[in-house]
Each structure stands twice: as structure tokens, then as C-alpha cells.
Chains A and B, each alone.
Chain A
Amino acid sequence: MRKAISVSDLNYKYPDGTLALKDVSMDIFEGESVALIGPNGAGKSTFLLHLNGVLKEGDGAVKIFGNEIHDRNIHEIRRKVGIVFQDPDDQLFMPTVFDDVAFGPINLGLGKDEVERRVKVALEKVGLSGYEDRSPHHLSFGEKKRASFATVLSMEPDILVLDEPTSNLDPKSRSELINTIKELNDDGKTIITATHDLNAVPDIAGRVYVLDKTIVAQGTTREVFEDLDLLRKINLDVPEVVRLFEVLRCFGYDYENLPLSIEEAISHLTQAIESEGGHIHLHIHEHTHERLSRTKEWHNHHTVKKSGK
């Protein structure tokens, strides 16, 4: 399989000299969907800006489909790599949704018919057909978010870079957006998503990189979420489902393949119940309390901080 994104030993300092990224290396293959997780200030957004040459530091550290990013091929790179920024108000700057979605294709020098076709397709994909003449400042936050997806989709990029796509969305908009991301991946787009929304990660990503100025962990989603200690050390956590199964384990429920999402939990429990003859067995044994309090300890660690006790 071809490498869509290849980053080797990327270093970046902010203009004031603070180290933002240190020796970051990453390989993402064509058609993959990868999540990039990390605490606040880990450099996720800074990293993403390197992927289409908005930030250029380091010498040929970033390769897109095997090509280094130069001034000469920057437009070609930006056609291939579309970034959806975190704040849709940064992304939507034209007077109407149509103009905004058409902005990229027009810059590519496409003809009017082709631009119109692409705008139509992109708006359909995000469920905003009929919004062409609306002004971005009249849209709801969820609509703005979807519109900013469309502005990038209309450029028909091979690689989609998403910065916190689910932040600030209500549950319905959030799950719609997660579905859109899944669909786009099914359509063959290579996707890299930076996110804090750990519950969404199992749905949208097969592999995870953990970034805290440098890559501190990587692996399949399951591998990364099984390494609780590491995640918690850098202020991250695991999806709620994983936490629940942690609790179940304290009650003697043993499992091999840790379920990461609700769907997985359902099929996991169904299988377990069927193979155990119609029920699963939970009980309190001698280590239960000890284990539970250890599990709770970390959780309390959070709440104590919050209440200031």
C-alpha cells in the first residue's frame, strides 16, 4: 500500500522559541483513518498545519504520496490535502455558502459547470443541499461545521485532515458528523483526525497516534486504549465503554478483546452470554473491592481536583 502521509523527525518551534514538536514521525497509508490524540497544548493543530505546507519548518520532513512539499508543488499538495479547521468561522469567509464551497474549486481553475457540480456534490455529502444562498453567519454552529467540511470536500482531496471535528457539537450533530467521517473513509479518503473526543475515536479510526510534543505512543485503537497508565499520565482517558468494562473486570468478568464502542460492547456481551449458556456471571470476590477502589482512585483523582477538597 502507498504511503499517503509520511513524516520523519519533524521539529517545530513557535516564533517565541517554545518547542512545539520534537522529532515527530508518522506514516499513514492510503485509505486509512487515523486519530491523533493528545492533551491541550500537545501541538496537534500545529502538526496538522504542516501537512499541507501552511507551516514549513524542517527540511523535507513531510512527504505527501512520496513528494516533499516545495513552493513549486504547494498548490498540487493543497489540492490533495484538505484541512478542516476547528473553528468554522475561520473557514467560512465568503458572503454565501455557495461562494464558500466554490472558493477552492475556483482557485483550482475549474470551469463554471464543474465548480457547480462539485458544490452540489459536497453540500449533498454533508446534508446541506438547499443552503447555497444562505449566509454563513446565519447558520447554527452544527451547520457551520458541516459547511466547512463541504468547503474542503469540493476540492476533492485524497487526504482529509480534521482538527477537532466533533468539538462543541450537540449529540445529534456529533453523531451525524461521525457518520459523515466514516462514509468519507469508506469512499476511499485517507483521514487523519485530531481530537479530544475519545469516545468517537473507536468509531472513526483504526489506528491512533498519541502526541505530546512528540509521539508517545502509537498502535491500533485497541492497543492504545489498553495502555491506560500511559494515557492517564498525559491527562487523557479512555472511552466510557472501556471504563465500564474495567469495572466489570473487577466483578470477575473476564474478556480478551476489549470492546471500545457501544456496538462492540453489544456484540461482545451477546457472544459472551451465548457461550456461557444464556447468562454472564458477575460476582464479588476477594480482590473486587481492592480493584474497584484502584479503578475509582484515578477517577476520583479527577473529581477531587475539581471540588478542591
Chain B
Amino acid sequence: MEYIEIDEYHHLMSPIHQWDPRAKIVSILTLIFSVVLLYDLELAALGLIFAVILLLISKIPLKFVMWHLRWVVLFILPFFLIMPFAVLEGDITVNPEGFEYAFLILIKAISAVILIFPMIGTMRFNSTAKALERLKIPNKIVQMIIFTYRYIFVFIDEFSDISRSLDSRGFRRRTNMHTIRTLGKAIGMLFVKSYERSERVYNAMCSRGYTGNLKTFDKFEMMRNDWVKMFIVMGMAIGLHLLHFIYFMEMI
């Protein structure tokens, strides 16, 4: 079974791969928030450039990123239809300013998603989980992330088993009630299976002394390089808003 995995390229060597996971998450997450909070097309474009630079440094193949980006674009496209009508000045009119807003949303979304790749695509998923734990993210949330990641593959397998068993008994997906009803039942079955599995996993955890907290070990250590990289990316994040501020002052 082939899975599409976010950490598929964790084995590459790049300055971003060699960055301390905690510093990487904090810095890039700051940059993501910084870009998302911009209200200026030019600055957002600059944010996109930063994102692409980080992506290029990380050496993650563009094809891999594009493949994932298509969903984002698909999700944003309707805004180009909605936004021109949404900027209302009295009557319903087509407002060209709306396109600008739609563009802004698109650029910010693409930048944010691109930045996800250098952030969590450059290390093993377990490093991400450990870094989150070390960053004092509530343990319950870290556990939810770990379990989601671990069992998503089991569910993919289980669903493809169900799907194959339907296919081998002559089931064909059409647009009719029978198809919907059958798939509904199959998905329902998956829920039942997950529920039962969660009980068994919980039993297995209790058997090994689980008391509600998940602890792991790591070998994280912040070196001078890690701080330098953090300084640069944080600088990008703060810089974008400084520029915005200067721009705004000039306007006055």
C-alpha cells in the first residue's frame, strides 16, 4: 500500500532539515501568521516570495508541493466568483476591488500552505510530535495529533479493504441511491471498527501503565546555527509587518 506522506522527504539534507525542530516550528509558524495577517497585496506577494525561498532551500521537490497545493487552489477559486459581488456599495454590482481581495486570499493561502512543507515536511513526523510536546503544547492535543497520524494509515487500509471487497462483489459506483446507501453503510462500518479498535488500543495502553500522559525522549539541542536561522525567519515575519507600518506612515 502506497501512502502519501507529509514527511516523505525528511531524509534530504538541507539547512532546514538540520534545523532544531522546536525552533523550526516556532519560526515558520510565526512567519505563517505574519503572512496571513497582511492586508496588502504587494506585501503578501513578498511573503509568498519568502515562502518560496524557504521551500527552495528545503529541497522538497516542487512537484510534490504542487500536488498538494491543488486542493488549496480548488478551495480558493470560488472566492474569485464571490468576492467581486461581496464588496457591496448599495446595489449588487461587480466591484473590481473584489478581485484584489480574492487575489490576496489566494496568495496568503498558498504562502501559508507552502510554508507548511519546510516546517513539517523536513523532519520525521515523530520529531514534530516531540517538538510540539517540548514546546508545552497541551499533552492531550499532542496525543490527538500522534494518534491521528498513526491510525490514519490503518483507516486508509481498512477502507481500501472494504472498498476492494465491494468491488470484487461487483459493486459499481454510480450516481444513485444504491451507491450512496452502500457507501454510507461501508463508512458506518468503518466508524464501528474504529470505535472497537479505540477500545482495544486503550486496553493495550492501560496494560502498559498509561495514566493519561504521553512522555517521550528526544535529543534536541539548540546550537548557534539554530538561533541564526530562527533570527532570519523571525526577521522575515517581523519585517513584513514593519514594512506595512512604514508604508502606512507614508500614506499619512
Partner of A96, one of B3, B126, B154, B204: B126
Residues 79-96 of chain A, each 1 if its beta carbon lies under 8 Å from chain B, else 0: 100110101011111111
How many Å lie between the Cα of A79 and that of B211 in the bound state?
A: 13
**Are B146's CB and A95's CB within 8 A?**
yes
How many Å lie between the Cα of A223 and that of B70 in the bound state?
A: 67
A103 adjacent to chain B (CB < 8 Å):
yes
B12 adjacent to chain A (CB < 8 Å):
no
B80 adjacent to chain A (CB < 8 Å):
no
A49 adjacent to chain B (CB < 8 Å):
yes
**Are B211's CB and A107's CB within 8 A?**
yes
**Are A136's CB and B207's CB within 8 A?**
no
**Segment among B104-112, B195-203, B238-246 that sits at the interface with chain A:** B195-203
A137 with B150, Cβ < 8 A, contacts A95-B124, A95-B126 known: yes
Q: How many residues of chain B have a CB within 8 Å of chain A?
A: 28
B204 to chain A, nearest CB (A): 5
B92 to chain A, nearest CB (A): 52
**Are B205's CB and A85's CB within 8 A?**
no
Q: How many residues of chain A have a CB within 8 Å of chain B?
A: 35
**Are B216's CB and A52's CB within 8 A?**
no
Contacts of B204 in A (CB 8 A): 83, 85, 90-91, 93
B206 adjacent to chain A (CB < 8 Å):
yes
A13 adjacent to chain B (CB < 8 Å):
no
**Are A108's CB and B207's CB within 8 A?**
no
Taking chain B's interface residues, is the majority helix, strand, or loop, or is none over half, making it mixed? helix
Contacts of B125 in A (CB 8 A): 95, 135
**Are B146's CB and A82's CB within 8 A?**
no
**Are B217's CB and A115's CB within 8 A?**
yes
A52 with B217, Cβ < 8 A, contacts A94-B150, A137-B153 known: no
A137 with B217, Cβ < 8 A, contacts A95-B124, A95-B149, A151-B208 known: no
A34 adjacent to chain B (CB < 8 Å):
no
How many Å lie between the Cα of A194 and that of B117 in the bound state?
A: 46
Give the residues from 13 to 67 in chain A that come closer than 8 angstroms, CB to CB, to chain B: 49, 52, 54
Contacts of A95 in B (CB 8 A): 124-126, 129, 146, 149-150
Give the residues from 105 to 123 in chain A that come closer than 8 angstroms, CB to CB, to chain B: 106-108, 112, 115-116
A259 adjacent to chain B (CB < 8 Å):
no
Give the residues from 2 to 36 in chain B that come closer than 8 angstroms, CB to CB, to chain A: 3
**Are A94's CB and B146's CB within 8 A?**
yes
How many Å lie between the Cα of A185 and that of B150 in the bound state?
A: 32
Taking chain A's interface residues, is the majority helix, strand, or loop, or is none over half, making it mixed? helix
**Are A49's CB and B217's CB within 8 A?**
no
A54 with B200, Cβ < 8 A, contacts A94-B150, A95-B149 known: no
Partner of B208, one of A49, A89, A136, A152: A152
Give the residues from 167 to 206 in chain B that come closer than 8 angstroms, CB to CB, to chain A: 197, 200-201, 203-206
B147 adjacent to chain A (CB < 8 Å):
yes
B215 adjacent to chain A (CB < 8 Å):
yes
How many Å lie between the Cα of A185 and that of B194 in the bound state?
A: 35
Contacts of A115 in B (CB 8 A): 217
Partner of B216, one of A82, A104, A106, A136: A106
B216 to chain A, nearest CB (A): 5
Residue of A nearest to B128 (CB): A95
B210 adjacent to chain A (CB < 8 Å):
yes
Contacts of B208 in A (CB 8 A): 78, 82, 103-104, 107, 151-152, 155
Partner of B200, one of A87, A104, A107: A87
How many Å lie between the Cα of A112 and that of B217 in the bound state?
A: 8
**Are A102's CB and B216's CB within 8 A?**
yes
A75 adjacent to chain B (CB < 8 Å):
yes
B138 adjacent to chain A (CB < 8 Å):
no
Contacts of A52 in B (CB 8 A): 207
A133 adjacent to chain B (CB < 8 Å):
yes
How many Å lie between the Cα of A108 and that of B147 in the bound state?
A: 21
Could you write out 9 A-B pairs with CB less than 8 Å apart?
A: A54-B206, A82-B207, A85-B203, A96-B126, A102-B217, A103-B214, A107-B209, A107-B211, A135-B126
5 new A-B contacts, CB < 8 A, other than A89-B154, A95-B146, are A94-B150, A106-B217, A107-B215, A135-B124, A151-B208
